Chain A
Amino acid sequence: MSQDFILETRNLVKAFKGFTAVDDVNLKIERGAIHALIGPNGAGKTTVFNLLTKYLTPTDGSLLYNGRDITAMKPAAIARAGIVRSFQISAVFPHLSVLENVRVALQSREGNSFHFWKPVKVLDRLNDRAMELLADVGLADFASARTLDLPYGRKRALEIATTLALEPELMLLDEPTQGMGHEDVEVVADLIKRVSAGRTILMVEHNLQVVSRLADRITVLQRGAVLTEGDYATVSADPRVREAYLGVAADEPAAPQSRPASVEALAPEARA
């Protein structure tokens, strides 16, 4: 098997005083895929995210990005290398305009960000590109609005536009549809599908409908460790996953007719 992995974690461990939040996690993210990280509350999903982007330092283990060890890199450097993350709470700059939000991301590659003696007008040449990105996420009409005044779903869309401005190879989305109404969820899910073309996405997501629709591959975390991994059909049929989520016993009938045969091979101890 010679698959192309954009990101790999090897024996990743994060221990907080006396509590191991992430325990020996080996992830392999295939290039070009949408990979979802799911699991019940407290499973360590966000901690894994923070480790991948170096907002937390791993206690042990290593991270490989395009085959290169990035375990020692700083968060801003990771972003410049092409791994850009979003946050659980919508991460926008509330008192900048919608256009400025995207522009400040485009600006990071301009090399003039320390120029305090230049007028802000020099950034106007980025406006066209910023408008394109806003149009991509359906926000073109709101370009001059103050970001604070946007409804929540639009803020998430803006966040995705801002992330796209960096043209990341790997996008990490932390619960992109969290706290959204049904319609917004649809819109954002469509958007994620659309922007996934030509890049890799790793997302933490609670909404299993979104996961089933988008994800090519799913890793289930429980108590900081990988419980199982596979496509949606495989994972959703795994009795341990049902147990982890719902607390129901593994021997409850789990729609066996929809269960692919391969699940036995993937999770031999499931029936033990």
Chain B
Amino acid sequence: MNDKKLYLALFILALAAPAVLYPVFLMKVLCFALFACAFNLLLGFAGLLSFGHAAFLGTGGYVTGYLMINAGLTPELGILAGTLAAGLLGAVYGKLAVRREGIYFAMVTLALAQLAFFFYLQAPFTGGEDGLQGVPRGELFGFIDLSNNLAMYYFVLAIFVFGFWLIRRTVHSPFGQVLKAIRENEPRAISLGYNVNDYKWLAFVISSALAGLAGSTKTLVFQLASLNDVHWHLSGEVVLMTLVGGMGTLLGPLVGAGAIVTIQNYLSGGELGNYIHIILGAIFVVCVLAFRSGIVGQFQKMLKQNF
């Protein structure tokens, strides 16, 4: 089982990483990686391009942030609530979106996400342009103080591992088989008796709940929920991360998120900060034109050719 060895190696690497890298940076990478993995479950394994996934990330963040500030929940309950809220929103949005295909599906998700954006802009409890600031991280299970960055990091790592495991299980499940069949040939899947919309819907709900989990976690890490998290920029960024890393591969979104977050962090400090979108755009174009299968996909191809 080569896969398992690889995952174990990566896990050990992740455990040791805070010794060399700044934990907040690592947490940012993990949050976006989980977000991208959730997105990739739809795009890579069900063939559905959602252009409104920020709505779920943001919903998770706002719900968790609001409850942590106002209801004094413990972090694990706060995150659970945010995840459920995003999953619920995904259940409603998904029901509407899966009735359409291709570009229309993407447009419906975008329109619904914009609806969410303007709701969070206007709603009284979100702090409008300022967002929710000073969200307390709280104490995990009532006794682990998460204001310590290292403790917070391992909590985030545990969440990521859970999310990744769930996605991997979903992909390699009876349900995942049907999803792949739908992705490969939808009319044929229908002719085998599958109500394809129900399968797409369930994939959508799982994906949006996990995107919400990523958003809830991110809000705790940065102690902030803001309009950036529901903006369509972010819906586009997650497409970028997934394509750069390799859509339809399990590790691709993780690699893609790592690459994009690193580039952003590196550039935003330096004098190239103003050109960040141009540079990311150029990377995107190069990726789509030259490396259609992304970093991980390209790597897998090379392995296949050489062994």
Neighbour of A76 across the interface among B170, B175, B185, B195, CB < 8 A: B195
Kindly list chain B residues whose C-beta atoms are within 8 Å of the C-beta of A75: 190-191
Q: Which residues of A contact B190 (CB under 8 A)?
A: 55, 75-76, 79
Whether the Cβ atoms of B174 and A79 lie closer than 8 Å is no
> For B178, what are the chain A residues with a Cβ–Cβ distance below 8 Å?
104, 107, 113
Q: If A93-B180, A93-B185, A95-B184 touch, does A79 touch B175 (CB 8 Å cutoff)?
A: no
* In the assembled complex, A64 has its CB within 8 A of some CB on chain B: no
Contact with A along B172-209 (1 / 0, CB 8 A): 11111110110011011111111110110010001000
A120-B176 contact in complex given A55-B187, A93-B184, A114-B199, C-beta closer than 8 Å: yes
Q: Once the chains bind, are B169 and A117 in contact (CB under 8 Å)? A: yes
Contact yes or no, A162 B174, CB < 8 A: no
Count, A-B residue pairs, CB within 8 A = 102
Contact status B177-A79, CB under 8 Å: no
Neighbour of B181 across the interface among A93, A109, A116, CB < 8 A: A93
The answer on a CB contact under 8 Å between A92 and B192 is no
Within 8 A of A (CB), among B235-261: none
Q: Give Cα A53–Cα B175 distance, bound, in whole angstroms.
A: 25
B192 touches A105 (CB 8 A): yes
Judge whether B172 and A93 touch: CB under 8 Å.
no
Contact present for B187 and A107 (CB under 8 Å): no
Q: How far is the CB of B74 from chain A (nearest CB, A)?
A: 26
Asked if B192 and A84 make an inter-chain contact with CB atoms under 8 angstroms apart, the answer reads: yes
Is the beta-carbon distance between B192 and A117 smaller than 8 angstroms? Answer: no
Interface string of A51-70 (1 = CB under 8 A from B): 00101000000000000000
Name the interface residues of B52-91: CB closer than 8 Å to any CB of A.
none
User: Which residues does chain A contribute within 8 Å of B191, judged by CB atoms?
Assistant: 53, 75, 79, 84-87, 91
Identify A93's interface contact among B176, B188, B199, B206, CB under 8 A: B188
For the complex, what is the distance from the CA of A235 to the CA of B132, rounded to whole Å? 78
Mark each residue of chain A from 66 to 108: 1 if its CB lies under 8 Å from any CB of chain B, else 0.
Answer: 0000000011110110001111000111111000100111011
A11 CA / B120 CA spacing, docked (Å) = 55
Q: In the assembly, what is the distance between CA of A86 and CA of B199, in Å? A: 22
Report B180 CB to chain A, min CB distance, Å: 6
- Contacting residues, chain A, for B188 (C-beta < 8 A): 87, 91-93
Is A103's CB under 8 angstroms from B175's CB?
no
A86 to B204, CA, bound (A): 29
Chain B contact-residue range equals 20 to 34
Q: What is the distance, in angstroms, from A101's C-beta to the closest C-beta of chain B?
A: 8
Closest to A172 in B: B191
A116 touches B196 (CB 8 A): no
**What residues on B are CB-neighbors of A53 within 8 Å?**
191
Task: Tell me, in angstroms, the Cα distance from A74 to B190 when the chains sit together.
Answer: 10
> Which listed residue (A76, A93, A100, A118) contacts B193, Cβ 8 A?
A76
Per the bound structure, the CA–CA distance linking A74 and B193 in Å amounts to 10
A113 lies within 8 A of B170 (CB): no
- Do A116 and B173 contact each other (CB < 8 Å), given the known contacts A76-B195, A79-B192, A84-B192? yes
Complex Cα distance, B178 from A74, in Å, reads 19
Residue of A nearest to B41 (CB): A116
Which single member of B174, B180, B185 contacts A110 (CB below 8 Å)?
B174
CA gap between A110 and B194 in the complex, in Å = 12
Residues of A within 8 A of B206 (CB): 116
Which residues in window 131-176 of A have CB below 8 A to B? 162, 166
Is A207's beta carbon under 8 Å from chain B?
no
Q: Report the minimal beta-carbon distance from A49 to chain B, rounded to whole angstroms.
A: 11
Q: Which of A80, A87, A119, A166 contacts B173 (CB 8 A)?
A: A119
* B181→A80 contact, CB < 8 A: no
Are B173 and A108 in contact, with the CB atoms below 8 A?
A: no
Chain A residue with the shortest CB-CB distance to B197:
A76
CA distance A84 to B170 in the complex (A): 28
Shortest CB-to-CB span from B292 to chain A, Å, is: 15
Question: How many Å lie between the Cα of A250 and that of B181 in the bound state?
Answer: 49
Contact, CB under 8 Å: A92 / B185: yes
Minimum C-beta distance from B45 to chain A (A): 11
Q: Tell me if A271 is interfacial: C-beta within 8 Å of chain B.
A: no
> Which residues of the other chain, A, contact B180 by a CB distance below 8 angstroms?
93, 95-96
In the complex, the answer to whether A100 meets B177 with C-beta atoms within 8 Å is: yes
The minimal Cβ–Cβ distance linking A228 to chain B, given in whole angstroms, is 30
Contact B177 A107 (CB under 8 A): yes
Task: Please list the residues of chain A having a beta carbon within 8 angstroms of any beta carbon in chain B.
Answer: 53, 55, 74-77, 79-80, 84-87, 91-96, 100, 103-105, 107-110, 112-120, 122-123, 162, 166
A-B contact pairs, 9 of them (CB 8 A): A53-B191, A55-B190, A76-B194, A77-B193, A79-B191, A80-B193, A93-B188, A104-B181, A110-B174
Apart from A104-B189, A114-B198, A166-B193: 6 A-B pairs, beta carbons within 8 A: A75-B190, A76-B190, A84-B191, A103-B177, A113-B199, A120-B174
Interface residues, chain B, CB within 8 Å of chain A? 169-170, 172-178, 180-181, 184-185, 187-196, 198-199, 202, 206
* 3 closest Cβ pairs, A-B complex: A79-B193, A116-B175, A93-B184
